[in-house]
Structure 1
Amino acid sequence: MDTQPNSPAARDRKYHLHSYTDARRHQEVGPLIIEKGQGIYVEDDSGKRYIEAMAGLWSVGVGFSEPRLIEAATRQMSKLPYYHNFGHKGHSPLVDLAEKLVTMAPVPMSKAFFTNSGSEANDTAMKMIWYRSNALAQPQRKKLISRLRGYHGVTIASASLTGLPNNHLSFDLPIANVLHTSSPHYWREAQPGESEQDFSSRLADDLEKLILAEGPETIAAFFGEPVMGAGGVVVPPAGYWQKIQAVLAKYDILLVADEVICGFGRTGNMFGSETYAIKPDIMVMSKQISSSYLPISALLINDKVFEPLADESNRIGTFGHGFTGGGHPVAAAVALENIKIIEERGLVANAREVGAHMMKGLRELGAHELVGEVRGVGLIGAIELVADKPGKSPLGKAGALGGIVNKHLQQNGVITRNMGDALAFCPPLIITKAEVDTLLAAVKQSLDATLKEVKD
């Protein structure tokens, strides 16, 4: 621990309340202060370099310190540093970005709406859905379904959609009208002898039973990530999305695809909806839309959503929702340039090719005594750590093994993130096979060090 009273670490402990951190523990151990970033690497204030194997927070697609994004921000900042889109006003970067997103969507979309984060975007989707139900004279159709272990944000409403206990405990969440159905984690949740297709059928049946119990006329929408991110990189089992969509169509329930992590190449296609043949009514996107160089997020809505919303705003006289920084011109300019880079440099194909190399290497680690499961798609993957392979059981308290391996990885020059005992890997889309090999070697070294530690 840094004991220098005026060091960044010491001042951080004194003044800074961190996200997703044990605040009392942080006062004891302090932070890792990151000062620089270049490509797939970041550097701390002591000069130590790390592979950023989580791309920040699943988000720095084109890598750190990309000159074109810095130049795009500088150009726009010098021309129009801020404007808004309230009251029939707009600006060119946002017009261009809206057109780009609507035209590149994998299914027909009508309009884009801009917010500042994935949480705000999902929160906005919830409000739009309720607004639409009222416009259609269906005031009873307000319930929303998401999934256990799903992640949709941390605002009061979007955190209610999130299906993780620590996002609810002591926050008095979830709010009313938010329901949760089964998690699609085959390895953990399947019954003995159950095939992936049978497991998917059972989960679709669970969903339909929930809808019928609540009343189909009360269910407005279903929210789901194509691949669950913060829930542990849960890849859907065979047939899952096909069967879930059939249930939703049967009861005329809107589908919201949360593409905040999967969008812009992560799964080996531009959108996770393409990877799994999902046909959403609303798409939510953030993170890699600007490689998180600046905060920006967007919702795409189809005509089924837009037309009633437009009618209702005409009846009332306004669509009374928006954010001061929503669709910020500098963020929009950076997002446009970021998408150009992803397209011009073939980073979606790179995620597919290098991701296959990463997944092959991770699966080879599946033989390790501490690895229970390896899962992933494209350039996002995870290894599930266990103390007992046959029993799939943790080492004492769930998350203990994940924390130990994560500690060794950081010592070995890799920053990643453990969600309990699931250790995630989501590096920048620009990573090469050689850099993946360096990452995998550090993972192997850290697993071995952990095994020695827990056995000693």
Structure 2
Amino acid sequence: MDAQPNSPEARDIRYNLHAYTDARRHQQTGPLVIEKGEGIYVEDNNGKRYIEAMAGLWSVAVGFSEPRLVEAAAKQMSKLPYYHGFTHKSHSPLIDLAEKLVQMAPVPMSKAFFTNSGSEANDTAIKMIWYRSNALGQPERKKINSRKRGYHGVTVASASLTGLPNNQISFDLPIANILHTSSPHHWRDALPGESEEQFATRLADDLEKLILAEGPETVAAFFGEPVMGAGGVVVPPAGYWEKIQAVLKKYDILLAADEVICGFGRTGNMFGTQTYDMKPDIMVMSKQISSSYLPISALLINEKVFEPLADESHRIGTFGHGFTAGGHPVAAAVALENLRIIEERDLVGNARTVGAHMQKRLRELASHELVGEVRGIGLIAAIELVADKATKAPWGKPGALGTLTNGLLQQNGVISRNMGDALAFCPPLIITEAQIDTMIDALRLSLDEALKQMKA
């Protein structure tokens, strides 16, 4: 990379190790340095503006630089800049946000517990599940099931739940007692001629066989995203969640819904669990809860989970878990104001109507020579790129075509993210149909440019 020695790019290379980045390649290419954000747009340090088609990291629901969130943070910072929820302590934003989330939940929930990220929340859920099993006198019931291609975070336990190889290779993961069942990606994994309903039935059978092989008395919970996000925006096939939940109910296995990406409007309902009629015992929330203006995440647990935890904490004398900044008053105040904006501006409705337009426009690209599949719901989608539509074969090394096209798309003023050869789109919930059209036009141009380069 040709950069001045004291430029932001050069200093970044000198001092930063980046997440989800090839560290050696970064030394050659350097970063895209983002300096400003407004609405659905961000601007780099050279003054170039981009549509942020990933809402940052699936998360900036109300857009960038929302004045009401800035004001909420400043007001709370001046009143109570920090306090905690340990040892019978609390504060108003913590109480108000817990009440709001429990009341918003689409199924009956009992209590909220606050953490700082989706990873921490899923890690905490695992600990709660194990704690509960001990409280119930079932110390053998510790195994937890998630899915191949699922994403649940990067802490030691949550990265073990995650079903993506790059989150586990060389980290000595997964840890013991984490099981992975089939991915619900019909386009990629269905047998020839297998309908979505038949595919879903087979996946439910796969799960039941795994539970029986392990011993139902040893399996405590199942974790799943309503729609898989970082695994490539995998939308479940028809009947999938109904069939999976029937298996879990048969063996009295808890369901933990990871709503970190789907929650607060993304799928066209307030929660992804509503979109797919899920009945979770645990709901994990982050990202759009505060539009990621400040780090905050939450777990909601029902009575079935809470009551044994309460009994065990009483027996021991404490629930020995918590985070210094869990339920931070400033983050909680921002989250409350963010949720007010989502409701007042009907951004869930916008995700439904503008999302339908985005899905329609993306599906117009299905005939493009490089597009193998278009999938999505609401304001979340992906296009899967292939070199050969018939065989679904990649162009060279898997991920090479996605990387090429994503780079061209960024040059054309749209920031997306490729997970292998799947390009994802998850724009802020405030996006308009006209802005969607601009985004899709840039995508079509980028696909054409990629095809031209491949044939050169």
Structure 1 length as normaliser, TM-score? 1.00
Determine the structure 1 residue equivalent to 2:289. Answer: 289
2:411 aligned partner, one-letter code:
Q
Determine the structure 2 residue equivalent to 1:396. Answer: 396
| Residue 298 of structure 2 corresponds to residue 298 of structure 1 | yes
Map residues 349-428 of structure 1 onto 2, 5 A cutoff: 349-428=349-428
Q: Deviations over 1:385-404 (max 9, x none)?
A: 00000001100110000001
> In 2, distance between residues paired with 1:63 and 1:195?
39
SS at match of 1:396: coil
> In 2, distance between residues paired with 1:397 and 1:297?
36
Map residues 110-149 of structure 1 onto 2, 5 A cutoff: 110-149=110-149
> In 2, distance between residues paired with 1:305 and 1:242?
22
Determine the structure 1 residue equivalent to 2:27. Answer: 27
Which stretches in structure 1 are left out of the alignment for 5+ residues?
none
| Residue 435 of structure 2 corresponds to residue 435 of structure 1 | yes
> In 2, distance between residues paired with 1:176 and 1:407?
38
Is 1:118–1:285's contact at 8 Å kept on the other side of the alignment?
Answer: yes
Determine the structure 2 residue equivalent to 1:36. Answer: 36
> In 2, distance between residues paired with 1:448 and 1:195?
32
> In 2, distance between residues paired with 1:241 and 1:46?
47
| Residue 170 of structure 2 corresponds to residue 170 of structure 1 | yes
- The structural deviation recorded for 1:2 is 4.3
> In 1, distance between residues paired with 2:346 and 2:84?
32
Determine the structure 1 residue equivalent to 2:256. Answer: 256
Which stretches in structure 2 are left out of the alignment for 5+ residues?
none
2:74 aligned partner, one-letter code:
T
2:299 aligned partner, one-letter code:
L
Determine the structure 2 residue equivalent to 1:453. Answer: 453
Determine the structure 1 residue equivalent to 2:51. Answer: 51
SS at match of 2:382: strand
1:90 aligned partner, one-letter code:
S
Determine the structure 1 residue equivalent to 2:197. Answer: 197
| Residue 351 of structure 2 corresponds to residue 348 of structure 1 | no
How many residue pairs are counted as aligned between the two chains?
A: 456
> In 1, distance between residues paired with 2:92 and 2:350?
31
Is 1:235–1:376's contact at 8 Å kept on the other side of the alignment?
Answer: yes
> In 2, distance between residues paired with 1:153 and 1:26?
23
1:33 aligned partner, one-letter code:
V
Q: Deviations over 1:368-416 (max 9, x none)?
A: 0000000000000000000000001100110000001001001000000
Is 1:2–1:9's contact at 8 Å kept on the other side of the alignment?
Answer: no
> In 2, distance between residues paired with 1:335 and 1:2?
41
1:141 aligned partner, one-letter code:
R
2:222 aligned partner, one-letter code:
F
1:61 aligned partner, one-letter code:
A
1:359 aligned partner, one-letter code:
Q
> In 2, distance between residues paired with 1:340 and 1:279?
25
> In 1, distance between residues paired with 2:124 and 2:3?
44
> In 1, distance between residues paired with 2:295 and 2:306?
25
- The structural deviation recorded for 1:3 is 1.6
| Residue 192 of structure 2 corresponds to residue 222 of structure 1 | no
Determine the structure 1 residue equivalent to 2:65. Answer: 65
> In 2, distance between residues paired with 1:217 and 1:198?
28
Determine the structure 2 residue equivalent to 1:267. Answer: 267
1:454 aligned partner, one-letter code:
M
1:54 aligned partner, one-letter code:
M
SS at match of 1:106: coil
Q: Deviations over 1:318-358 (max 9, x none)?
A: 00000000000000000000000000000000000000000
Q: Deviations over 1:280-308 (max 9, x none)?
A: 00000000000000000000000000000
> In 1, distance between residues paired with 2:378 and 2:447?
23
2:241 aligned partner, one-letter code:
W
> In 1, distance between residues paired with 2:184 and 2:2?
43
SS at match of 1:350: helix
Determine the structure 2 residue equivalent to 1:95. Answer: 95
| Residue 197 of structure 2 corresponds to residue 232 of structure 1 | no
- The structural deviation recorded for 1:180 is 0.1
2:8 aligned partner, one-letter code:
P
> In 2, distance between residues paired with 1:45 and 1:201?
51
Q: Deviations over 1:180-215 (max 9, x none)?
A: 000000000000010100000000000000000000
2:158 aligned partner, one-letter code:
S
SS at match of 1:365: coil
Determine the structure 1 residue equivalent to 2:333. Answer: 333
1:17 aligned partner, one-letter code:
L
Is 1:54–1:415's contact at 8 Å kept on the other side of the alignment?
Answer: yes
How much identity, in percent, do the aligned residues show? 81
SS at match of 1:334: helix
Determine the structure 2 residue equivalent to 1:12. Answer: 12
2:139 aligned partner, one-letter code:
P
1:233 aligned partner, one-letter code:
V
> In 1, distance between residues paired with 2:351 and 2:7?
39
Q: 4+ runs of 1 displaced by more than 3 Å?
A: none
SS at match of 1:200: helix
SS at match of 1:318: coil
Q: CA RMSD in A?
A: 0.4
Determine the structure 1 residue equivalent to 2:180. Answer: 180
